[in-house]
Structure 1
């Protein structure tokens, strides 16, 4: 749908053009406008307006911002990767980045201009940043314990139907086969780090891992963009701003909704705090979209755009990723009986979470484990989650104790799954095809 077209009587022009961006629209995004005109969607939209006074889709201008963002990337970090990683090698690039993150620019002898610019952006605090609100969001997120990992993992399976998401992961092979569990756990390490108290302060664990993930994404983007299997006309740039923006909303608004579904009493203010946390995480990771939702309602609208524009084109790439997820949790043979019992219980818990949160038609469309009675597990824990959540909101002392318990639970879960392996947030330098 080109800029300057009439949407329901409103003439929409192109979104403002960033210096490094383009106002192109990926071919697959056109399915959004086609789906929007389907009778069922039109009826649902009209019903929302009548019953709630709320249009479940954003303005045409905001939709175009999101569409154009599929060609926006991260020029500041890309300049650093080009100047250092490409010229001096990945080992030297990693060493230089680690030195700057750990000890500041003074620790790097004669730092290149691109590193100076990158560190300036990493340490700058945007005008909209509210540390008190961010820390509230971090506390809310860690209060969910290890369930956030299961929610994130299950929700991501829905995104694997899209080529722009599935193709990069398929090419690296990181989320398929034997390496799927390790890469998934590294993703959860990042989520745990950003929600630690003070985790997003410069030098904090979340800030550090966000910076490393940012450079990792650039490293991958540059290589994927030149791969013969990448179709920029259809999908935009690899790991683009709009796809990254949806990751931020998945960790905040979608996470809040999924936690409510298992009993956690998440308020609107809690959800806004989660959005603020993830917005700043995105800022550090180089995610600066043309339009970022300011309210829960706007976040829901943008999420609706994402679901309406889905093209379901990932085919075999997506199928492999989807079916690899739960298999990654299957217990290994040859372990001791205590470890075996624990791993069997965790495997079935993950099956239960996936079936509970995923649409039944989606789950049945793939070769997934039989889910019953494990799918009842999330529902059965809802009363306990609700009671604990309400108790925490009524007492500072109970709130502090609940916070400590949630942090211990998620760290224990991570240690069991990851063992002695460390999270490196390093990109694969070779693709599997």
Structure 2
């Protein structure tokens, strides 16, 4: 069977995090582990198209990465200790020979917790884990944080440097350390899921494998910390969002927005599971940001059609969410709901207060609201601006099509404003 570049890319997305986590546990060195895994995939690109896919691609990558690390350590060894460290890497190829310690048993979730060390800033924790766990590129992570690529690159380098200089150990946190790291872990998993839901760049709208991995890790986290309602809230949010995937693209792979989706295609099993988690969380009476976002999504899934959505409840939930997380992204999403209740002019006034220039969603919302007011030239300009900011193929094509429609409406009405 011919192995294509796309086949290898799928293995990379599925197995990068586990391979890096196994190597970090063995080496205690982020850069060496990351470089070794990258080298292994480079070798795969050279050999797999010629020799075929190995029976266990993940095992092959880990074995090859370990051998590359051993070779590098031996080349650089100047003391007996370095040789000893290299020889210690001759553990079983799947990492199962490494002792299981602490409460976290899942290899990739362990990596998330260990990266979320309190000595690192929240931004550094999240960025580093996205890089190591998801294999996300620096531009992808920068897009998720809404910062320039150079800023994110420096942030990742500083995080790695701090780990080395401070001697931060890569070990499983103790039970009592888990709650303090939970907020960062939740943020990491949510950003991994978000990238899986709508990819920063590429020919496909999303990366289902990445979304599935985030959901899997969230399930493990809920089992690990069953008394943490925000963990359950995040899982519910993921499930209710993922349930819409079958309806988000048409037969040609083009984007279908929420209001136009065929809701009969939504995954009812995921909807039902997510709804149960939402009700269970809210009964505890201590709603947090993820629980409230899940509740908002639950309102959407309650409606048989977009027109039946209870927008007043959505606005009320966003009002509560703003008290806990007063960010401009939350304000933007609230403005969308306000437009359904009070009209586009009221929502536009809210957008003028936001500092989100360069954020695709801001320009999309503004373009939609301007179109509702028949301000077609302005709407077309906003659609064009949004399209120029998106590197996601289906999303960009959808935005360009909307820009063309708005420009056509402007031409028909003779509006040259």
Higher relative contact order (CA 8 A, sep 6+): 1
TM bin, normalised by shorter chain, reads under 0.3
Higher CA-based Rg: 2
Scaled by the length of structure 1, what TM-score is found? 0.25
Superposition TM-score, scaled by structure 2 size: 0.25
